[in-house]
Structure 1
Amino acid sequence: MRKSQVFGHFLVVCLLAATSAWGQAGTNSGVIAGEVDDSSGAKVAGAKVAVTSPALIEQARETVTGDDGLYRIVNLPPGIYAVTATQTGFSASKREGVEITTGFTATVNFSLTPGSVTQTVTVTTEAPVLDTQDSVVQKVISNTILEALPIGKSASDYPALLPGAIAPAASQDVGGLKGEQTQGFRIHGSAPIDFTQLRDGMYYGAMTGGGSNQLSSNNPTATQEVQLETGGYTAEDWNNGGHVNIIPKSGGNAFHGSFQADFGNKALQSGNVTPALQALGVNGSSSIRSLYEVAGGIGGPIKKDKLWFFADARHWISSSNQAGANFFYDANEAAPFPNNLYYAADPSRPAYDVNTYTDIGLRLTWQATKRNQFTHNFIQERNCNCFYTISSGLLAPEATTHHWYVHDWRDQVT
């Protein structure tokens, strides 16, 4: 076979792979669209519509209306926008405070009045909160809400904010006591394995077995918002279950950052073992052994309007003593065979689990040209679900395994 044919076949395979990856991808941006009319209701063709926001590395993006007076500006990162419409012979019209979230299309219409283009009329109305152009059923949760609500630390807790979502009973968390044991949920009768997790709109598939994602954690200080999709997917989507799309923070033309630290201990924990349960032989409940998290991130310009960065790091440990479970010891080591084969529980050494998550990340945004922008998002994790499944109560700690994930690298370029 000639080299040209081999290259041609290779190119076809690459195109098919790219098409498949595109079909599995979500979104990481929003849209502003609408129409421009004059005071009589006639459509204004050729009007320039510009959007500005600190979220845009190029600061401003513009388009012109078609013959039908319609316009559409896509791929807008989450943020607060101002939209301005101008046309010769009309006063400029401006709308401020338009909030864009992931997957949201904001409808912003203009009615231009005759006048000088140097005059600007600022229209004060409520920002659009209803998406009338897309069919996707979703809920977007901002980082501010995630930080304010008393939910756990893992991605498995996001469905708690979603009406109708059903998470496995063993995955329900209070105060971050559990690690990333499982992150799936069911919605509208779907199976847990139909769940999909995305980062920045991209399915990364890193050792993810259906709905069970025991590998990846998420740094809350590096999260801009979380998009929860539950229905109305496009025909290209291969999964009918719930989608969790984690949108990372980006840099900016000004330095910004956040830091958080929290902890818990046994003294802050209550129990529910009543005298009636104690009479049945229940000696106590599981208790906190170690629980703390330290996380932070900082972003800003490397070169304003050209190259941004956001760097982050996180260390989280969650460990609990398991009620009714202990390590074992050879109580009859000196006894003759076969009596020396039996082990006894060591009450001085209660069994416990250990979930550790350490990650560092770096996100770069580069405005190469006026029409071309690139992002690079790199994350390295070192995680362990140690004494895995000890909480089931069916295994001795010596019979469990340590699930180490070293090193988990995610490298995304868009």
Structure 2
Amino acid sequence: MRGKLLALMAMLGLVFGSASAMAQAPTGDIVGRVVDASGAVLPGVVVTVSGGALIQPQSAVTGNTGTYLFSGLQPGDTYTVKFELTGFRTMVVERVAVSVGGNTTTNATLEVSALQETVTVSSEAPLVDTRKTGTKTNFTQEQLQNVPSARDPWVMLERTPGIAMDRANVGGSQSGQQSGYISRGAAGANNKWMLDGVDISDTVATGSTAVYYDFDMLQEMQISTGGNDVTQQTGGVGINLVTKSGSDTIRGSGRYYWTDESLGSTNITEDLRAQGARSGAPIQNIKDYGIEGGGPIWKGRAWFWGSYAKNDINVGVVNFYKKEAGCPVNAADPLAQSLSIEEINNCLNTDQTLLDTYNIKGSALLFSGNTFTWHSNYNKKGRNARDASDTRPFETTYIQSGPVWTHKASDRHVINDRWVAEAAYAHVAGGFDLLFQDPSYRAVQPLYDIATTRWERSYDESVFERPATSVALNTNYFRPATLGGDHSFKIGYTFRNTPTTSTTVYGGDVTAQTRNSAAERARFWRSSALDYALSTHSVFAQDTYTRNKWTLTAGLRWDRQDDSAHGSSVESNPLIPQWLPGIDFQGADAGVTFSNWSPRLGVAYDLFGDSRTVVRSSFSVYYGQIGPGNLSGTLNPVTAASITFPWNDSNGDRFVQLNEVTLTRAAVIAFDGNYNPDNPGFLGTTNTVDPDLKNEKTVEYTGTIDHQLSSKMAVSLSYIYRQYSDFRFSQRVGIAASDWAPVTYQPTCAAGVPSCPQLTYFQPNISIPGTQRLVNRGGYARDFNGIEAVFTKRMSDRWMLDTNYAYNSAVDNFDSVQGYSTSFDPTNLGIYNGQQYAVEAGGSGIDNVFVNGKHLFKVAGVYTAPWDINIGGTYNFRTGYLFPQRILSPNRTGAAGTVNLILEPFGESRYDSFQMVDARVAKRFNFGRRSVEGSLDFFNVGNVNTVLTRNLNQAASTANQVTGIVAPRVLRLGVRVLF
């Protein structure tokens, strides 16, 4: 009976669901059917594709259904497709464009002719892809270069339907750091970054990219947000970047863009200054320049391409001041209010990022049908004050450095006109350093106020090594006229090895903690020294079956992920070695390996048979990608560990002395890491991993209707449902929900706060146990419902337009406290249960941002005015993100520490809606094959000053003070030379 039920469910999934035909390869397909004047199919037609990124032409012969397929074609220059059959006129279709992950349908109707005649036509690819079943957005050169943008991949994500960003990037003000983003209720850990088919996702900060980019190295970008086919492991956003390549003609470009504070405005008002934003966040100076070009090494046999770029970004940060006479120390300094806006902006310190990027790429035809490609990318990032913010003054920020090399070698072989195979090897030498501003800060105790979240004096230092080596084998096979239709098979295997090491040390080995400037706690640290291994094996197979109006896609993917912890050592905390002793760890394995089968099913129906209206749907199951140590890390005792005790600062110097600290087990306020204060001398761990642990799972259903209004315009409407489950965390062993008792608390709030209610929190009747177990979060799931509407007008009649709207609702559901809290603490459970999910952004000065945009509306367009003046513009609107006002509890008994008490159901209060307009004017002057373009880009045209973040703690002296606003209007000057 169960087998019949599973079979029925599979059949229903096949009928009502699907997976996308888009691939994570940096290529697309040309596909079509050849008929005669009566509409009868023509087998035996010789179809030849040439140009584009092909060093030599490829040919295929149509089968009994009159169909053909060229797979694995790179975007860039357009292709030419020629159709030849004895007794018929030869037909040549020019300007056939290929997009990443797309299927360019190029049909032909051949007429009978006794003469050898040739008919040449210009291609106009249909706007509706009848073979597609997922949701994706492609950005071509026209959209990358002619629409105003901050010129990094993250601003293209900002223009993608349904994606909400964690920051507002005005003219490059935020391009010194990766932006965070949310799509369809998913956390970012399952996002995937691909560069020319190489997985360059960070191996530890999973979901982010290991490198930064020269914007002009990109030929095209594809961003997929759902219906991912079997080539992508996860259900996260897939970012597929394709670099430029050489050709038989020498071509290239150079550019210089300049932005300066003298070209900007001021958007800070006295009202905002009174609310805590004493300064604005202006661009001080940005220079973006570089050159790229390529051509033949041996015409018709070998090409090269290379590039160099530098991005020098200098920005001011709200209330991030220089340590100079006449400048305020922080926002509370009376000088910060009394100085004029111009004077206060002159006191802003500089947050500088330097990005250097090199590329070299070569392709060669080794023998007939065989092409070898090599690509090396070098990216070096330097930043003088990472994490700069109003709560992280200069001495607490990081110096960031770290070059990353990426190498890829691939060999593509056309076995015959239906079968293509490729083998690839890649290595990403990922890693970076986050260093103290001065080596002497290693001995300095940081000072941290737990109410205002402000740091002083020092911080910590880390060094990361994150290499990744991968091997991929892929093949595509086209089988026409089989079982009543055409089959396009895709089969592949990938191996990825991602070891990682890291060390972290803490300033002074202890953090002095105050609450609204009153001494309260001393948090002692033990450094960490981590060494993990992770290997991933993946196999996938997929068949895209086309018959008449139907396209059916069925795929299956298998992923095996296995990590382990290698041995490493840490020294004791020199202040309290009896509590935090040194450890020599021998290594451990979690005993759990994730082995997951992921079905991807799909169907698309060409409603009227004219390729203008297509109804499609998808059903997909995805499993999460893990990082090194995500499983075995629970068993590792040399992770960072801390223990917090009461501190009285009896001498008033704001530094911790041991005679000011109550060092007893009963006095422990909190502890962290794989550490047990009940047995601090134990040089191992009693932690365990549930042998039945499951990988995080996402189930997705989508339904879409695409309609081509005309040859230039199309609309699309999609509904998306997702459920996320089988999350995991390390849960305390030996405590239950019944061990927690409610405590009524009347806080003392800051003057002027709108609400200061009596609150209830919970504290344990026993001490929090030190032993943990890695388990699934039983009873916790997240449901997402969304709608996306898209309108596209391709460039014609002098204008183009892309418009999209998205409605998003992601809701957290907890059946019990077991899946809510690592220690079964029910505090705030009712606040979060059944409410909107919003992940808190963190890092690079971005905090207190809870990304959840229920309504997103985006517009991007270009108009070519008389005298060939290009006018571009964007409009971006989203509902305000969550503003969860809260109060920090007192220290709780049982080493439970403090907890933030949310004042109202999560998501009930939001910041004001955000909207911004950018504009661009450009004029190109042509000199034969060469041209020069001058441009003016206007960012934040309306000079909006929307508040993005405030201090959330209503009991802090800085309650509700503004900590982040949109950067002001600024003008960018640019010149590009094309040759």
Q: Separation in 2 of the partners of 1:207 and 1:288?
A: 32
The answer to which of 95-104 and 278-287 deviates more is: 278-287
Q: Separation in 1 of the partners of 2:191 and 2:362?
A: 29
Query: Which amino acid in 2 is paired with 1:142?
Result: T
How far is the alpha carbon of 1:117 from its aligned partner? 6.4
The answer to which of 300-309 and 42-51 deviates more is: 42-51
Structure 1 residues 315 and 40, CA gap change in structure 2 (3 angstroms):
same
Alignment of 1:12-411 (within 5 A): 26-58=24-56, 60-78=57-75, 79-116=77-114, 118-123=116-121, 126-168=124-166, 170=167, 172-206=168-202, 209-213=205-209, 215-280=210-275, 282-328=277-323, 350-391=348-389, 393-405=390-402, 407-411=403-407
Q: Separation in 1 of the partners of 2:399 and 2:361?
A: 31
What secondary structure sits across from 2:63 in the alignment?
coil
What secondary structure sits across from 2:38 in the alignment?
coil
How far is the alpha carbon of 1:328 from its aligned partner? 4.3
What secondary structure sits across from 1:102 in the alignment?
coil
- CA offsets per residue over residues 240-263 of structure 1, 9 Å max, x none? 111111110001111111111111
Structure 1 residues 92 and 345, CA gap change in structure 2 (3 angstroms):
same
How far is the alpha carbon of 1:312 from its aligned partner? 0.3
Does the 8 A contact of 2:150 with 2:175 survive in 1?
Answer: no
Does the 8 A contact of 2:96 with 2:123 survive in 1?
Answer: no
Q: Separation in 2 of the partners of 1:259 and 1:388?
A: 30
Percent identity reads 25
Query: Which amino acid in 2 is paired with 1:386?
Result: N
Task: Find the counterpart in structure 2 of residue 340 from structure 1.
Answer: none
- CA offsets per residue over residues 186-208 of structure 1, 9 Å max, x none? 22222222222111132123556
Query: Which amino acid in 2 is paired with 1:412?
Result: K
Does the 8 A contact of 1:97 with 1:127 survive in 2?
Answer: no
How far is the alpha carbon of 1:222 from its aligned partner? 1.6
Structure 1 residues 139 and 329, CA gap change in structure 2 (3 angstroms):
closer
How far is the alpha carbon of 1:107 from its aligned partner? 1.5
Does the 8 A contact of 1:180 with 1:216 survive in 2?
Answer: no
What secondary structure sits across from 1:366 in the alignment?
strand
How far is the alpha carbon of 1:297 from its aligned partner? 0.5
Query: Which amino acid in 2 is paired with 1:291?
Result: I
Structure 1 residues 50 and 184, CA gap change in structure 2 (3 angstroms):
farther
Structure 1 residues 200 and 208, CA gap change in structure 2 (3 angstroms):
farther
The answer to which of 198-207 and 224-233 deviates more is: 198-207
How far is the alpha carbon of 1:37 from its aligned partner? 2.1
How far is the alpha carbon of 1:283 from its aligned partner? 3.4
Does the 8 A contact of 2:95 with 2:123 survive in 1?
Answer: no
- CA offsets per residue over residues 300-332 of structure 1, 9 Å max, x none? 11111111111100111112233323344899x
Question: Which consecutive unaligned segments of at least 5 residues does structure 1 have?
Answer: 1-24, 332-343
How far is the alpha carbon of 1:275 from its aligned partner? 2.7
Q: Separation in 2 of the partners of 1:100 and 1:84?
A: 16
- CA offsets per residue over residues 379-407 of structure 1, 9 Å max, x none? 1111023311113x2212111111211x2
- CA offsets per residue over residues 163-220 of structure 1, 9 Å max, x none? 211111x3x201011234224422222222222211113212355612334x522112
Does the 8 A contact of 1:327 with 1:345 survive in 2?
Answer: no
Query: Which amino acid in 1 is paired with 2:174?
Result: K
What secondary structure sits across from 1:97 in the alignment?
strand
Does the 8 A contact of 2:93 with 2:121 survive in 1?
Answer: yes
Does the 8 A contact of 2:46 with 2:59 survive in 1?
Answer: yes
How far is the alpha carbon of 1:137 from its aligned partner? 1.9
Structure 1 residues 228 and 236, CA gap change in structure 2 (3 angstroms):
closer
Task: Find the counterpart in structure 1 of residue 413 from structure 2.
Answer: none
How far is the alpha carbon of 1:71 from its aligned partner? 1.0
CA RMSD of aligned residues (A): 2.6
Question: Which consecutive unaligned segments of at least 5 residues does structure 2 have?
Answer: 1-22, 327-333, 337-343, 411-979
Aligned residues: 373
Does the 8 A contact of 1:326 with 1:349 survive in 2?
Answer: yes
Q: Separation in 2 of the partners of 1:51 and 1:57?
A: 11
How far is the alpha carbon of 1:148 from its aligned partner? 1.9
How far is the alpha carbon of 1:288 from its aligned partner? 2.8
Does the 8 A contact of 1:185 with 1:242 survive in 2?
Answer: no
Does the 8 A contact of 2:305 with 2:360 survive in 1?
Answer: yes
What secondary structure sits across from 1:100 in the alignment?
coil
Structure 1 residues 100 and 54, CA gap change in structure 2 (3 angstroms):
closer
Query: Which amino acid in 1 is paired with 2:181?
Result: F
Q: Separation in 2 of the partners of 1:183 and 1:116?
A: 62
Structure 1 or 2: more helix by fraction? 1
What secondary structure sits across from 1:326 in the alignment?
coil
Does the 8 A contact of 1:155 with 1:180 survive in 2?
Answer: no
Structure 1 residues 107 and 117, CA gap change in structure 2 (3 angstroms):
farther
Structure 1 or 2: more strand by fraction? 2
Q: Separation in 2 of the partners of 1:277 and 1:410?
A: 45
Q: Separation in 2 of the partners of 1:291 and 1:188?
A: 33
What secondary structure sits across from 1:266 in the alignment?
strand
What secondary structure sits across from 1:305 in the alignment?
coil
Does the 8 A contact of 1:156 with 1:180 survive in 2?
Answer: no
How far is the alpha carbon of 1:286 from its aligned partner? 2.4
Task: Find the counterpart in structure 2 of residue 341 from structure 1.
Answer: none
Instruction: Tell me which structure has the larger Cα radius of gyration.
Output: 2
